[in-house]
Structure 1
Amino acid sequence: MTDDQNKPIESALPNLSTEDLEKIPEEIREKVLVGAQQSIELIRSPLLPPEVLIRYNNAVPGLAAKLIEWTEAEQAHRRELEIRGFQEAERLRSRAQWGGWVVSTFGLTVAGTVASVSAVYGSVAAATAAGVIAIVSVGGPFAARLLASRWQKESDERE
């Protein structure tokens, strides 16, 4: 083996001397060296470590700067999507609250009208109907919202 071939080996196997390397049988030495040169790195940061960026830059000049730009652009895009999703959810909640208010107000108005009719005519059935309408108009939107959130939770758990 020439000195040029040993340079990457020395970096991949820093604790292995040339004499130890020569003790490895010839037929498997290449496999050992290739396996030692391959590595898997787990990176939890959105940005690559400086050592990796330097290696990329050595392989393709200017690539490190491009990788940093791409990472920053991707982070900005992801944040924008998260903000948009939050705003849309807020809009939907607001619309649901307004809808619930409209349904409740309309139902209470109808219940009041039916109750007035029952008072004028002395109808127990109309008074009962007014009570049922009032309960449903106030409790209905609340129950619908509760069921919708429960269904959403179940849907999220399945995914």
Structure 2
Amino acid sequence: MKKDDPTSPMAIAGNEHLLQLRGCVPDDSYSESIQVLKRGHSSKLTVGRSTGIPSYFRMKRGSAWSPRLKAWPVYPFMHSSIFATQGDSGSAVVDRSGRIFGLFFAGASSCTPGKAMDVSFVMPVKFLRKRLKQHGLRDVNFDPILT
């Protein structure tokens, strides 16, 4: 796959301009509100803004609850749009410099964009690295290499 191939899964922007993914958002930047991008399977290319304030929650599977999860809320950049929808889970969320912010994994929205709150939750890279290492994966690398 070539670096400038518009069909590349690493190509985030449109056909005229490709955003190359490079590195990860530094841990201390999560406390700021950051403009982010995501190209999801269902919602395609969307723009949002992180809050800079984490959310903590637990998920229930059957009768068991997950450990407490820390995620960053992301709201759509435009009030009349959505940031993510069903089918976008696992999409990489990046900042405008192409640094990986995290992975989209959950959201809550109204069926009518702009009529109610739309919030997406992004799992930060630091948490993902930690969990992958806990489950035996060594040398976790989030820096994509295009060849």
TM-score bin (small chain): under 0.3
Normalising by structure 1, we get a TM-score of 0.20
More helix by share: 1
Q: Which structure is richer in relative contact order (CA contacts within 8 A, separation 6 or more)? A: 2
